[in-house]
Amino acid sequence: MSAKITHFDIHDVRFPTSLTGDGSDAMNAACDYSSAYIALHTSDPTLTGYGMTFTIGRGNDIVCSAIAAVAQQLVGKDTEELFADMGKTWSFLLSDSQLRWIGPEKGVIHIASGAVDNALWDMYARSRKKPLWKLVVDMTPEELVRSTAFRYITDAITPEEALAMLKEREAGKKEREAKVRELGYPAYVTSAGWLGYDDAKIARLTKDAVQQGFNHFKMKVGQSLEKDLKRARIIRNIIDNPEYTTKKVDPKSIAGKNAGPTGSVFMIDANQVWDVQQAIDFVTAMADVKPWFIEEPTAPDDILGHAKIRKALKPYGIGVATGEHGHNRILFKQLLQAEAIDVCQIDSCRLAGVTEVLSVLLMAAKFGVPVCPHAGGVGLCEYVIHLSLIDYIAVSGSMERNVLEYVDHLHEHFIYPCSINQNGRYNVPSNEAEGYSIQFKESAFAEFEYPHGTYWAGALAEQQKEKANGTNGVNGVHH
Ligand SMILES: C[C@H](O)[C@@H](O)[C@@H](O)[C@H](O)C(=O)O
Ligand SMILES: [Mg+2]
């Protein structure tokens, strides 16, 4: 019997990562990794859907209000009717004209729609007792196409073309699923190279990451060329040293062409700090540390700017990656059409959920650009392994050119945390881990819900005391 959506709970959960510099970059010096989170309940007490979107602190409450506005539309709806056509469900969610006006399809309202769409997908997968990735790869090509948002992208890919592409991939799905279960999905590590870490910490974490089996390493840049070069050399000296490095990257891969003597690959990320020419000059000056790509060199909406940077860096063998602030499928369409990127970095909850992610996966596969999802945040690693598995098994059919971002933060707060195998690759979420892996443990709310969780209640009381004593700002509470 089908259930009806009855009500929802929303949680504003913030982790004080700014205190340790976790997640810091040239644009975002002090971020508190945060989750605007929803639990969608149904008339069936055993069926709930969980979803979230990511922010970096203040403003999480605003996103939570927007999530409530979007989710309200689902109350009273029949779950099986929603699941039967997830593309149509997505259009319905995004079509309230008054809410649409405050986008359209961008900013707070869009990421809120992402949290709600993801919660529905989570519920759908749970209702079928499958992990999300398995639900989607087991779909027929027709079902997958029906689950995708095609509005505004049919000049780049039509549903008919998508269907033909997916049908071509059908035959190899079983084999690819078995292969990735055995090997794991390729990963890269960012959390050794946050900008706020000192050189000694960067060196220590890079050595640890090498030991864990990683062979792709990303470092934050964009503050000072001198400091960035110094750090890049610290990292390169470790990852290029055969004493530390045992794992080799496939030399046939795109990244492999930029690999150092031990086969390790190095990437840099500027988080949008430069103008176009500045980006070209800065990255050219870093050419001898051989980055595979520069990520977010400039404003995320500047499609032609990215294309210009890409053209200028090509002779140096350096590519361009972007997407974590890619606010909708139309922006990705244009980045692909303008040949502006080498690597497509979708974000699981800046795009409006799985439905819109499928649109970008299909376009990227058609344009032959590898998808390496963004995961620097809380919950993002939990989400994106599902998306990369869908990409590999059902859509692009390839994982040889891909690496999925990994950051080693806050996984302990999830009921089904992601994990990395001894070869530095993501494990495939098991069949017991139903849904989209984003459900928090109750303890996360008890401690980190803002502002009444035990951590924040204590920190805010402390801040009040300091204010009264005239000693402000020592405890790192930015709220
Ligand atoms: C503020 C965040 O940690 C970002 O620095 C992070 O998402 C980053 O851009 C990344 O690529 O992981
Ligand atoms: Mg980034």
Q: Return the amino acid letter for 453.
A: G
Q: What local confidence, expressed as pLDDT, does residue 271 receive?
A: 98
pLDDT at 251 over 60: no
Distances from the Cα of 112 to the Cαs of 52, 71, 355, in angstroms?
A: 8, 9, 14
Contact criterion met (CB below 8 Å) for 440 and 35? yes
pLDDT at 468 over 70: yes
Reported as a single tens digit per residue, the pLDDT across 324-376 is: 999 999 999 999 999 999 999 999 999 999 999 999 999 999 999 999 999 99
Q: What local confidence, expressed as pLDDT, does residue 434 receive?
A: 94
> DSSP states of 64-115 as a string?
HHHHHHHHGGGTT-BHHHHHHTHHHHHHHHT--HHHHHT-SSSHHHHHHHHH
Reported as a single tens digit per residue, the pLDDT across 165-177 is: 999 999 999 999 9
Q: What is the mean pLDDT of residues 414-424?
A: 96
Mean pLDDT for all residues in the chain: 95
Q: Return the amino acid letter for 133.
A: W
Q: What local confidence, expressed as pLDDT, does residue 254 receive?
A: 57
Q: What local confidence, expressed as pLDDT, does residue 469 receive?
A: 87
**pLDDT tier, 474 (very low <50, low <70, confident <90, very high otherwise):** very low
Contact criterion met (CB below 8 Å) for 275 and 240? no
Reported as a single tens digit per residue, the pLDDT across 183-241 is: 999 999 999 989 999 999 999 999 999 999 999 999 999 989 999 999 999 999 999 98
pLDDT at 398 over 90: yes
Reported residue count of the chain is 479
Q: What is the mean pLDDT of residues 298-315?
A: 98
Domains and CATH numbers, the chain: 173-426 (3.20.20.120)
* Rounded-to-integer distance, Cα 170 and Cα 25, Å: 41
pTM of the model: 0.96
More confident call, 254 vs 302: 302
Contact criterion met (CB below 8 Å) for 19 and 476? yes
Q: What local confidence, expressed as pLDDT, does residue 476 receive?
A: 47
Contact criterion met (CB below 8 Å) for 406 and 188? yes
Contact criterion met (CB below 8 Å) for 388 and 370? no
Q: What local confidence, expressed as pLDDT, does residue 259 receive?
A: 72
Q: How far is the CA of 199 from the centre of ligand 1 (A)?
A: 19
Reported as a single tens digit per residue, the pLDDT across 40-51 is: 999 999 999 999
Q: Alpha-carbon dihedral of residues 31, 33, 193, 195, nearest 10 degrees?
A: 0
What distance lies between CA 134 and its chain's CA centroid? 19
Matching residue, tokens 């990227």: 364
Is the previous residue joined to 131 through a cis bond, with omega within 30 degrees of 0?
A: no
Is the previous residue joined to 429 through a cis bond, with omega within 30 degrees of 0?
A: no
* HSE toward the beta carbon, residue 1, CA cutoff 13 A: 7
Q: What local confidence, expressed as pLDDT, does residue 252 receive?
A: 55
Ligand 1 pocket mutation pick from 190, 298, 343, 349 by most atoms within 8 angstroms of CB: 190
Q: What is the mean pLDDT of residues 400-408?
A: 96
Q: Is 376 in the pocket of ligand 1 (CB under 6 A)?
A: yes
Q: What is the mean pLDDT of residues 96-103?
A: 98
Q: How far is the CA of 124 from the centre of ligand 2 (A)?
A: 30
User: Phi/psi at 69 (nearest 5 deg)?
Assistant: -65, -40
Q: What is the mean pLDDT of residues 68-85?
A: 98
Q: What local confidence, expressed as pLDDT, does residue 431 receive?
A: 84
Helix and strand numbers, DSSP H then E, in the chain: 18, 11
CA-based nearest residue to 261, from 249, 278, 279, 277: 249
CA-based nearest residue to 18, from 8, 28, 1, 30: 30
Q: Is 190 in the pocket of ligand 1 (CB under 6 A)?
A: yes
Matching residue, tokens 């869009």: 110
Options 110, 218, 306, 374, the catalytic residue: 374
pLDDT at 315 over 90: yes
Q: Is 377 in the pocket of ligand 1 (CB under 6 A)?
A: yes
Distances from the Cα of 175 to the Cαs of 166, 368, 397, 403, in angstroms?
A: 15, 21, 10, 20
Contact criterion met (CB below 8 Å) for 232 and 266? yes
**pLDDT tier, 248 (very low <50, low <70, confident <90, very high otherwise):** low
